[in-house]
Amino acid sequence: MGIRPPGRDPADVNTVIVNGRSVLVDGVIPDAPDMKAMAGRLQKAGERMWANMGSGDWAGRGVEALSPQSYPVWDAE
């Protein structure tokens, strides 16, 4: 990114209005999804998929054999 001139830091922006619609208010995107709720739904979907992975494998291997984790488990809280 490099060095930004004074007044060019995105943190300086508090409110953005586009075509009469507020897209940033007090530094927050009003219509942004709840990331914790989204992560929870994604986790549940993954767990449903992982539970059934072995049924589609020719050797009946489970999720750990087919797709071992590369990173430590992430805790959303």
Q: In angstroms, rounded to a whole number, what is the distance separating the alpha carbons of residues 51 and 8? A: 49
Tokens (6 digits) for 13: 């922006």
| Contact (CB, 8 A) for 27 and 14 | yes
- pLDDT, averaged across the chain: 85
> To which residue do tokens 């001139």 refer?
5
Query: What does the pLDDT average to over 20-41?
Result: 91
Q: How much is the average pLDDT of 27-45? A: 91
Which one is predicted more confidently, 31 or 77?
31
Q: How far apart are alpha carbons 16 and 60 in whole angstroms?
A: 53
Q: What is the pTM of this model?
A: 0.48
In sequence order, the 6+-apart residues with CB closer than 8 A to the CB of 29 are 23
- Position 16 scores a pLDDT of 92
